[in-house]
Chains A and B, each alone.
Chain A
Amino acid sequence: MIENIARRTKQSSPVVQLPSELPGDYLKCFSCGRCVGDCPAAKHSSFNIRLIIHKMISDYEELLKDDIIWKCFQCDLCSLVCPVKLNPSSLIRKLRRDALIRGYKRERVETFVGFYKNFRLNGLIMPLSEDVKYARKKTGLKTPQPFINTELNGFHLIMKLPPPFYDSDTSFSSGLNITKQKKRQRSKRGKTS
């Protein structure tokens, strides 16, 4: 397969270098096509793991800009049928992460950024709506409070979760810093008075 790509991309040598973070295992792909056979995304779009592996080697940057990597359902069927035990689902996750880091297609994950911000704040990905609160009350469910006991149950452990890869919003850490700064200012005032 590598020789074919090299010929197609007019490279003199079939030696291909993958981006360092991607596992070299994908060079083992011999395009048998089993991954495409039952793929739900392939049935409804031009999504094709074989082509993605080709493109990954020949034009990585273009691949990251392409909408195609967002069509995978992560259903893992391809991983189960691959004769050389590749894991295309995990490859797609890596490609998506790389695309987001380089600033491509961030609009696709807006919902998840919202979820993640909620998660870091409340330990839940979505706030409870009034209807759900009512339903929970009627069915006798207590409101979940992940951070109910902040001292003992690791509130700060969760607060220190890293931000999304590309997120410039540092309100969490700055929020903590502000309270620290205020405390310092108060203690300074106390000393001076």
Chain B
Amino acid sequence: MINSLRLNQIPLEGPIVFFRSCMTTTQYPHVHVDSVRLLERLGYTVHVVREQTCCAGFSFFGGLTDEKPLVLSNARNMALFASYANDVVTVCNACFATLNLYQRVMEKQPELAVEVHKKLRKYRMSLPEKPLKVWHLLELLYAVKAKFPNPSPKKLGRIKAAVHTGCHFLRPNPAIALDSAISPRFFESLVARIGAKVVTYKEADLCCGGGWTTRHTDREISLAVSLQKLKSIHRTKATHILVSCPFCLNVLENAQVELEATGELEKILPVWHVSQLGLLALGVSSSAPVVR
């Protein structure tokens, strides 16, 4: 069930700030490039702010600190963004959850908010009166899906995609979720509209195995969950795994390599970020294969 209130607020064009995720910066630059190109072709004016820091979600979710570093650094980011646009888009579930958490903390902890404003003023920065709105790339694509060509390019029909929405996109904020937080299906309908075939599989709502931190804190159980998910995908006729988050991409890609080496999986399926598929639908090839 689509949350029409949220859907109607999504900007359909105009200026938007692209929030760089640590995974796209340091591991998958092609996801960054593809997402920006895709958004520009769909009618957005995309600003990438060079001075932006990472979202710092890992420090809080990894148990290292309280919310303060996350709030301070994202307040700085938002103050920087405010001169470019009123909307921020991220391609990463973790960044999306963190930026929403930042906004919740600023609302619910007025004392901390006062401290943040004070610190920003000290460095000649300020937050806008109306907080910037944070969107996930998937939400934007869903809102402007009519802009994708219909009928879609024939070669897309050869892609049979097993779709993975991920946990940290909708579940941490069910109140503002675009679709059911437990079992969302809007990603699948978007992919079908773009032109690829969608395969259904039993473990579609299962975590990729990454967790926020479990990949690093308990690798054994992380791989066990990845295997459960991947086996379920490999049982179908899927040719690709499609994700909305570069961290899920990283986990599913690396888990396949590891599990194939130990003989627990027979093959490796390519894992794509949704931006790659979106670009293909617009007749532009992805910048993915940039390897030295």
Chain A residues in contact with chain B, CB under 8 A?
Answer: 40-41, 43-45, 47, 67, 70-77, 79-81, 93, 96-97, 99-100, 108-109, 111-113, 115-116, 119, 123-129, 131-132, 134-136, 138-142, 144-149, 152-154, 156-158, 160-162, 164-165
Contact = CB atoms under 8 A, between A and B. Distances in A.
Contacts, number: 198
Given A93-B61, A119-B56, A144 B221 contact: no
Nearest to B119: A157
Contacts of A158: 53, 72-73, 76
Given A73-B207, A80-B174, A116-B64, A124 B213 contact: no
6 closest A-B pairs by beta carbon, nearest first, are: A96-B63, A123-B53, A73-B211, A76-B171, A112-B62, A75-B167
A34 to B, nearest CB: 12
B218 A109 contact: no
Given A116-B64, A144-B52, A147-B51, A126 B214 contact: no
Contacts of B76: 153-154, 157-158
Nearest to A109: B62
Interface residues of B, number: 63
B26 A124 contact: yes
Contacts of A111: 216
Contacts of A76: 167-168, 171-172, 181
B235 interface: no
Contacts of B206: 40
Contacts of B123: 152-154, 156-157
Interface string B70-112: 0011001001100000000000000000000000000000000
A139 B33 contact: yes
Interface in B137-179: 167-168, 171-172, 174
Given A123-B53, A153-B125, A135 B30 contact: yes
B15 interface: no
Contacts of B66: 97, 165
B58 A148 contact: no
B189 interface: no
B58 A115 contact: yes
